[in-house]
A and B are shown apart, each in its own frame.
Chain A
């Protein structure tokens, strides 16, 4: 009896200790993740004067100011960058959806000669890293005189072999009988695609859309290469420009205000579509 009690107690103590260690560890990492966000919001509401006079950084402020946000939109063209990014994101995502849907439909539903070969070739393109083709694309766009223009920004990134693949797999889950039923009713392929396939596969399309929006919002390399006119900067190279030439180098609170403005849309999107995004990413997205 006594021995049993000892075993029971030891097991309970060990279990509780493991719990405490786990929670502490997880909390520490949560702190590491959240702290930069806290710091950026905190700094963005500190007055410039107050910030500059802090030799030792303060962890809170008693006199928050929103002046920095006004500065962010007036002193530097943050609004312009923002608008550009929205146009770029919407344009790229919209065109991509059309291109990808059509191609996925062809692979999933239509019969044509050379389909298998074409699909294998498409898949093999998935292995080509972006960094390898950027060089020529840069030269091409420059030669076409499309630098500092939305077509130049958008066109090279409107296809994604991976999304075609993802969508094709999803399209193939739609039972054949639906297609034949539609054929019997005299529905055209395009109408079938729009009225049947797209609504049924909407969850996947939404996932693709969200992933693409995130990718567009954060894209840096291509916009940086292809634009040198402020009027076409996106938020990523815009913030870099702000850092190096805007505000005067030392107005860090205003800079942080800009960072907050840039970060908020995606964080809101994430909080709204949390499950969709996490599911989509685990199905096949790596950052960048």
Chain B
């Protein structure tokens, strides 16, 4: 073939733009971030550093802000991943069992996916906020039920955590519902018919047939859910403003960006160390997840 000779070059030519962009903005930075993380006392203005070693990691691990961010992120992950997956599963099962209104409901449920996290976060903030002149809507409802009002945005830690989790779940729900409804819809209806003929109860059909059939998708959602929740950041900014450290609501990713830029910024080495710490955590948890699911999914 004629293009064997010249076509070798041509292929690479078509790839060239992608290679350039990826090389410059992905491969090089990936290597660089490791280098940064070991360079001690790097100064971005003069581009000099004192030496190499583990100091950046040590600093980050002892930084109370980082520890706070670590705690917040873990809480967020542990609360939102199981809750959102569970609720999404219930909603999807419900959606799959009805016919009228199904399409409308699916459309509604998907709306949060196409909204700007920052913008809608603002709405959540005013819903939950308690100010001098107004209790805010959520507190109004709490009062109806006889509770006493709480400031969810500037108040106690548990209240702030609650709003953050609530908003995070609200934001991640569309994706999970979408995936689970299509997984449920793709289960062959004959299995349900067969089970019905045998007089299987609803609960047993769900536990013995539906769940095992869609378990690969559930594990997929749990894994992507873990990864996503560990990278939480903009939801927190939307609710509590850019100065997350002051609000005590920072996340690990937020810590990385704050180290890089903003009032406390200018420390790419610390940022790199924190970023690498984050991803070793994510990687570990993903691997554990895969191992566990690999054992359970064998058909």
Report if A217 contacts B (CB, 8 A): yes
Contact of B17 among A18, A57, A103, A255 (CB under 8 A): A103
Known: A99-B21, A106-B14, A136-B32. A263 touches B279 (CB 8 A): no
Do B44 and A164 touch (CB < 8 A)?
no
Contact of B114 among A23, A122, A267 (CB under 8 A): A267
Chain A residues whose CB sits within 8 angstroms of the CB of B105 once the complex forms: 26, 30
Interface-side segment among A62-70, A199-207, A269-277: A269-277
Which residues of B come within 8 Å of A, CB atoms?
1, 3-4, 7-12, 14-15, 17-18, 21-22, 24-30, 32-33, 36, 44, 87, 90-91, 94-95, 97-98, 101, 105-120, 122-124, 126-127, 133-137, 140, 170-173, 175, 178-179, 182, 202, 224, 227-228, 231, 233-234, 237-238, 241-242, 253, 256-257, 260-261, 268, 271-272, 275-276, 278-279, 282
Interface size class of A (residues with CB under 8 A): 35 or more
Report if A208 contacts B (CB, 8 A): no
Residue in A131, A155, A243 whose Cβ sees the most chain B Cβ within 10 Å: A131
Do A135 and B26 touch (CB < 8 A)?
no
Report if A86 contacts B (CB, 8 A): no
Closest chain B residue to A57 by CB distance?
A: B137
Q: A178 to nearest B CB, angstroms?
A: 16
Chain A, residues 244-264, CB within 8 Å of chain B (1/0): the string is 100000001001101100110
Residue in B118, B275, B276 whose Cβ sees the most chain A Cβ within 10 Å: B118
Contact of A262 among B26, B116, B278 (CB under 8 A): B116
Report if A235 contacts B (CB, 8 A): yes
Chain B residues whose CB sits within 8 angstroms of the CB of A25 once the complex forms: 90-91, 94
Which residues of A come within 8 Å of B, CB atoms?
18-19, 22-23, 25-26, 29-30, 32-34, 36-37, 39-40, 43, 52, 54-57, 98-100, 102-103, 105-107, 110-113, 115, 118, 122, 125, 128-129, 131-140, 142, 155-156, 158-159, 161, 164, 189, 214, 217-218, 220-221, 224-225, 235-237, 239-240, 243-244, 252, 255-256, 258-259, 262-263, 266-267, 269-271, 274, 277-278, 281-282, 285-288
Contact of A263 among B28, B115, B227 (CB under 8 A): B115
Chain B residues whose CB sits within 8 angstroms of the CB of A244 once the complex forms: 241-242
Do A22 and B97 touch (CB < 8 A)?
yes
CA distance A269 to B179 in the complex (A): 21
CA distance A60 to B143 in the complex (A): 20
Chain B residues whose CB sits within 8 angstroms of the CB of A271 once the complex forms: 107
